[in-house]
Amino acid sequence: MLKNKNYNTIFHIWLISLIFLVSSIIIVGGMTRLTDSGLSITEWELFKGVFLPKGPDAWVEYFDLYKKIPQYSFLNSSMTLDEFKYIFLWEYAHRLLARFIGIFFLIPFLFFVLINFLNKTKIILLTKIFILILAQGIIGWYMVISGLTENVTVSHYRLSIHLFIAFSILSSLFWTLLNSTNKTEKFFFKFNGYNVYFFLLSLIYTQIIMGAFVSGLDAGKIYQTWPLMNGNYFPDDTMLKNLFNFNLPSVVQFFHRNIAYLIFFLSIYLGFNIVKKKDTKMYVNFVIFFLIILIQIILGISVLITGGSIYLASLHQISSIFLVITTLKLYYSSIRT
């Protein structure tokens, strides 16, 4: 019994560590995008890329490869080697952390399987998460190659897939942790009449995708006013027929704003509903969730009116991690077993 309890503790520490690592790579990935560092390493380098370039010649070799892509030619033709090293190190850190997460997941997972600690449900779920981690690496490279030949940046569609998978991994790990610590087996898609919480969570995932569009298109650098977009509700540089053209930065920013409003008002509705029903078990979860919502909105507005500050934009993305986790906890608590 004591031995099993010790393994439970180790298992929970492992899951918490993975959640921290995945959160970290989302943050580093965000900074990699914000600093336009993602195209600094132009080759896959699954094994070779583990080590930093050794000596001046190796750095020059990497820099020469970077000089062959459009981003250098059209945007950074005056870049020095030291400036290149700065963006290289962001992308290097991102890739190194990704490799570490893969290893840190696989080895303990195999250990837990070998000692028969995991039941069949957990083995299947964790195997799916590992497949997502492997797929994330492939999608990451698929994203990078979209900016190596004809474009000066990566495809915002591929960027959104990359980010969404990262949040899917994070969410799956957190859900597994909740089930394990509460000794339950709640299913993510088992609503039990509480669809409104799942709808809220779906809106937040949609907003994350839209946020990736904003980042990929630098859509936060236009219409830097709030609450209106330069005095208008709808952007004045496009027409309604282009409302669903997500290649237009102004349209993307318009949707990002309005999904945020929808999330905010739905949150208020949920709060009133919880109080009306006197659902005391949801009070603490909701208050924490709503505070994160307010922080997220304040940061989002601040990013706009400050001209797209990298630091505020990074904080905005960091708060989105807390938003997803607190929303998952709220949704999890709403499911009655």
pLDDT for the residue numbered 275: 94
Write down the pLDDT at residue 2.
47
- Amino acid 337: pLDDT: 67
pLDDT at residue 187, as a whole number: 87
Distance CA(182)–CA(100), nearest Å, equals 28
Helix and strand totals (H; E) in the chain: 10, 0
pLDDT at position 158, please? Answer: 96
CB contact burial 135-153 (16+ within 10 A = b; e otherwise) = ebbebbeebbebbbeeeeb
Residue from 268, 267, 269, 236 nearest 253 by CA = 236
Domain ranges of the chain: 1-168, 186-337
How do residues 198-237 score in pLDDT, each as one tens digit?
Answer: 999 999 999 999 999 999 999 988 999 999 998 999 998 8
Token couple for 27: 């943050």
Q: Distance from CA of residue 143 to its chain's centroid?
A: 15
Per the CB < 8 A criterion, the answer to whether 31 and 314 are in contact is yes
Place of tokens 């943050």: 27
CA distances from 181 to 11, 12, 132 (A): 10, 8, 23
pLDDT on residue 335 = 86
Q: How far apart are the first and last CA of the chain?
A: 26
**pLDDT given at position 141:** 94
Query: For each successive 10 residues of the chain (337 residues), what is the average pLDDT?
Result: 73 98 96 94 86 93 95 94 96 96 97 93 96 95 93 94 97 96 87 77 96 93 92 90 92 96 96 92 95 96 90 94 96 85
- Enter the DSSP assignment of 68: T
d(CA 306, CA 313): 10
Backbone angles phi, psi at 45, to 5 degrees: 50, 60
